[in-house]
């Protein structure tokens, strides 16, 4: 069970509404050279729309494995994971891929921007994959970059941007298909204090504006303190 450290104004369940994410007794193990390695054990928690949840824990506690499961990049070995009312454990690869592309936005520590593309083009990449027409794609990418304060950097390439600016481009890219869930894996780990604060403020703002859930994996207590709630992983177990 997760430990609530609710901040003022934290999201709460709407009467009669289901949580966006419902993780029930999820386990994950791997087999390496014939040896079974148990990473997650009976993880159970929920995340509401508009809520920002921080996942914390020591290195090796299973944080990245859990994030991969939430982002539909991996499947649990046991238990159930329901995303926006869909039991993902029953989905084939095609429907899982579509649900991931339409419903989940990813923000990574290392940005993963295309080096020879402008900020505008980088934000448009998920929309290209989603078949969004060119003019609509450009207009939405421009609006998203303006929303994160980068209207003056539309045509800059990654090497011309600071680390904080690159991460804001990555955040705009994650928002490009209006996902219900934003997953951020150590999004401030490569940034200075001022940039880290700015990125967290942007994540919080986007969660509220878009009524999206945000799940942040972090080792930084200052980042975790900005979340509505903290889920701690201890040796692969949520508490």
- pLDDT, one tens digit per residue, over 74-94 is 999 999 999 999 999 989 999
**Residue range 174-227, pLDDT digits in tens:** 999 999 999 999 888 888 888 888 888 888 887 788 889 999 999 889 889 989
Q: For the range 121-124, what are the long-range contacts, defined as Cβ-Cβ under 8 Å and sequence gap of 24 or more?
A: 122/158, 122/169, 122/170, 122/173, 123/169, 123/172, 123/173, 123/176, 124/176
Please give the span between the terminal C-alpha atoms of the chain, in angstroms, as a whole number: 4
Answer whether 0.85 is exceeded by the pTM.
yes
Decide the pairing of beta strands 181-185 and 104-108: parallel
Res 1 pLDDT > 50 = no
Task: State the average pLDDT over residues 149-178.
Answer: 93
Mark 188-202 as b/e (b = at least 16 C-beta within 10 Å): bbbbeeebbbbbbeb
Q: What is the pLDDT of residue 66?
A: 96
Cα 201 from chain centroid? 15
Going by C-alpha positions, the residue among 197, 69, 70, 171 that lies closest to residue 111 is: 171
Q: Which residues face 31 on adjacent strands?
A: 36
Helices (H), the chain: 63-70, 93-103, 119-129, 134-147, 163-174, 193-210, 221-226
What integer pLDDT is reported at residue 12 of this predicted model? Answer: 43
- Band (pLDDT 50/70/90 cuts) for residue 2 is very low
What's the rounded mean pLDDT across residues 135-147?
Answer: 94
Q: Strands of 229-234's sheet, edge to edge?
A: 104-108, 181-185, 213-217, 52-56, 229-234, 237-238
Give the pLDDT score at 4: 43
Instruction: Compare 17 and 182 and report the one with higher pLDDT.
Output: 182
- Could you tell me how many residues make up the chain? 239
Q: Note the pLDDT of residue 23.
A: 97
- Residue 14 pLDDT more than 60? no
Domains and CATH numbers, the chain: 21-238 (3.40.50.300)
Q: Is the pLDDT of residue 5 over 70?
A: no
- pLDDT score of 188: 85
For the chain, give the mean pLDDT: 89
Cross-strand partners of 59? none
The whole-number pLDDT of residue 8 equals 33
Q: Is the pLDDT of residue 95 over 60?
A: yes
Above 50 in pLDDT, residue 9? no
């Amino acid at each position: 069970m997760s430990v609530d450290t609710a901040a003022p104004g934290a999201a709460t369940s709407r009467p009669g509404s289901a949580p966006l994410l419902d993780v029930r007794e999820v386990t994950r193990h791997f087999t390496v050279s014939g040896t079974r390695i148990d990473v997650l054990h009976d993880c159970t928690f929920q995340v509401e729309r508009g809520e920002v949840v921080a996942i914390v824990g020591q290195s090796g506690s299973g944080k990245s494995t859990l994030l991969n499961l939430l982002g539909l990049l991996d499947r649990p070995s046991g238990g159930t994971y329901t995303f926006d009312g869909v039991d993902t454990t029953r989905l084939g690869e095609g429907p899982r891929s579509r649900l991931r592309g339409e419903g989940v936005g990813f923000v990574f520590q290392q940005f993963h921007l295309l080096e020879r593309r402008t900020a505008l083009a980088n934000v448009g990449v998920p929309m290209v994959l989603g078949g969004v027409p060119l003019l609509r794609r450009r207009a939405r990418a421009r609006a998203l970059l303006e929303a994160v304060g980068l209207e003056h950097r539309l045509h800059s390439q990654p090497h011309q941007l600071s680390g904080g600016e690159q991460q804001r481009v990555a955040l705009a890219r994650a928002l490009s298909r209006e996902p219900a869930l934003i997953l951020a894996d150590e999004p401030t780990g490569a940034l200075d204090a001022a940039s880290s604060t700015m990125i967290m403020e942007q994540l919080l703002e986007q969660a509220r504006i878009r009524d999206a859930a945000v799940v942040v994996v972090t080792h930084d207590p200052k980042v975790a303190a900005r979340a509505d709630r903290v889920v701690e992983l201890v040796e692969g177990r949520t508490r």
